Amino acid sequence: MDLDDTVKLEIYGRLALSGTAPTATDVAHALALAPDEVTAAFARLHQRRLLVPEPGDPSRIRMAPPFSGVETPFRVQAGGTTYFANCVWDALGIPAALHRDAAVDARDGHTGEPMRLEVKHGAAVPTPCVIHFAVPAARWWTDIVYT
Amino acid sequence: MLLFRSEENVSAWCRERSLPRQPLVTLDQLWHLALTWYENRLTVESRRPAASEMVSIFASIGLTGPFWDPNADAWASTG
């Protein structure tokens, strides 16, 4: 396994366990690496679209999809841990990645009405809702934070 | 992408922003995408699907056309 995959597994393992994204310093300490090596791995993982560093601070993680490194309007509860997702797709992506049941608390994009989605026994529980993609696939990574 | 209770709420959201309403996705379709993208995300083998794979994945659940094509020139040229 190469360095980037090792860093990737450390990031995702920590996120799955705690819901909190590690910094490059955290990952470096865990893997006995130099922080600069880890920050460089963050950049390469970004090129592979597996991670988005925090704008202005390449040693911090804004997104490791489906997980968010910051609080968002998409809160996911699974296995007693709280996670934040980048969007409604990623909110379902967290139980998919964890292979766990989950409850997603979000809000209607127009009215702000609280909405809950649930995943039980490996499937999304039918809920009256629709999902709107405002940005076409060709532009998703033009501004992934907006998307 | 955003979650809405109804199609009417999507239309109102788009109207307020003078944005075109794009194709809607159902919860079942989104769950399929979540599984396809992320069910092995915690493993060493995980990777984002390639553009050609994405087109096939979207088509398999009825999402077709340039909006769902990561290489669609009509969108990319202005993106």
**pLDDT tens, A42-68?**
999 999 889 999 999 999 999 999 999
Q: Report the pLDDT value the prediction gives residue B77, as an integer from 0 to 100.
A: 38
Per-residue tokens: A36:
């600069």
B7 touches chain A (CB under 8 A): yes
Residues counted in chain B:
79
Q: What would you measure as the largest C-alpha separation in chain B, in angstroms?
A: 43
Q: Report the pLDDT value the prediction gives residue A146, as an integer from 0 to 100.
A: 57
Question: Which strand ranges, in their side-by-side order, compose the sheet holding B24-25?
Answer: B2-4, A130-132, B24-25
At A68, is the secondary structure helix, strand, or coil? strand
Q: Check whether A147 has a pLDDT greater than 70.
A: no
Name the average pLDDT for chain A.
94
Note the pLDDT tens digit of each residue in A89-135: 999 999 999 999 999 999 999 999 999 999 999 999 999 999 999 88
> What does residue A74 show for φ and ψ, rounded to 5 degrees?
-110, 95
Closest-CA residue of B relative to A64 is B41
Contact B1 A133 (CB under 8 A): yes
The position carrying tokens 């309403």 is B21
Contact A109 B2 (CB under 8 A): yes
Partner residue facing B31 (CB), from A49, A66, A92: A92
What are the distances in angstroms from CA A100 to CA A58, A93, B26?
A: 31, 11, 21
Summarize the confidence of residues A4-33 as an average pLDDT.
97
**ipTM given for this complex:** 0.90
Summarize the confidence of residues A134-140 as an average pLDDT.
86
Q: Report the pLDDT value the prediction gives residue B72, as an integer from 0 to 100.
A: 77
The position carrying tokens 């809702």 is A129
Partner residue facing B47 (CB), from A12, A48, A119: A48
Q: Which of A69, A4, A13 is nearest to A39 (CA)?
A: A4
Calpha distance A59→A48 (Å, rounded)? 17
How would you write the pLDDT of chain B (79 residues) with one tens digit per residue?
A: 899 999 999 999 999 999 999 889 999 999 999 999 999 999 999 888 888 899 999 999 999 988 999 887 654 433 3
Q: Which of A65, A73, A138, A108 is nearest to B34 (CA)?
A: A65
- From the number of C-beta atoms within 10 Å of its C-beta (0-12, 13-18, 19+), residue A92 rates as buried
